Amino acid sequence: MKIRLALAAVAASAALLGGAIGAPAAHAAPSSDAVAAKNALDAIQPTDAASVIDGIEAANKVLNQLGITPFTPTVGLCTDFSLSLAAGGAVAGPYTPGVGDLTVEVPLVGDIDLNAVKKGEVLYGFVPTGLINDSGDKSGMRVAWFNVNTFKGGLGEPMGGVTDIILDAVNKRIAESDVLGLAAIAKPVIESTLTPALNLIPNNGVRAGLVDTGSGTVLSAIYGTVKKGDATCFFFPSLGIATAK
């Protein structure tokens, strides 16, 4: 990884420079700064690789599978002295990741829009690289946004697991509908189309957040923390612009 190599080079250069200045003889004991630099270098390990997500290209591929347009890539500084790359992105509604348009035809009623992302909403996605512990709380990643057309915004909107966010949104649409018997009609459609489509997409570590931004051009930033084993990675913002219809 270029970032890791660059950091290692800087740290190594600092260690060598400190050793050169503070060493009166060729075989002098290394300075405390040099020892500290070496220990830091030794502690930096390559980011864990896994079949889930590996590298920015793979992260962008997952976002594309979800129909999400990637933002700028970002990096996370982890408490185990490793680095983790990531990519964020967004897609505006009406849309449902995995299937596109989730409109159900109801006899004698017509088409009912059950899309996870409604008009005036934006679904944000975040894909970190490496082994991610998804057994605990997923709300460490957050979304900050500002609609330049309405001058409305939000700071710290929590994200969650991508499958949960999407399925919960669709079930909410069903519950909000006043169409009698819609649940019985929609459930087979969800089980036969949406659920299998989401199962085909690697989602370990993937985060999603659904935000009611209103229509307009939305400046966005995705940032926060993700667990990686026993370590915690602090991600700098992934920046981008979404256009909500």
- DSSP string covering 50-86, please? -SS--SHHHHHHHHHHTTPEEEEEEEEEETTS-EEEE
pLDDT of residue 4: 42
Stretches where the chain sits below pLDDT 70 are 1-54, 131, 133-135
Both tokens assigned to 237 = 């913002």
pLDDT of residue 32: 57
Closest by Cα among 41, 214, 207 to 118: 214
pLDDT of residue 79: 94
The total of other beta-carbon atoms located within 10 Å of residue 194's CB is: 22
- Spell out the alpha helix ranges (H) of 90-228: 162-176, 182-189, 195-199
CA angle 118, 147, 151 (to 5 degrees): 125
**Within its chain, how far is the Cα of 190 from the centroid?**
24
Phi, psi at residue 163, to the nearest 5°?
A: -65, -45
Question: What DSSP designation does 215 have?
Answer: S
Is residue 205 within 8 A of residue 229, CB to CB? The reply is no
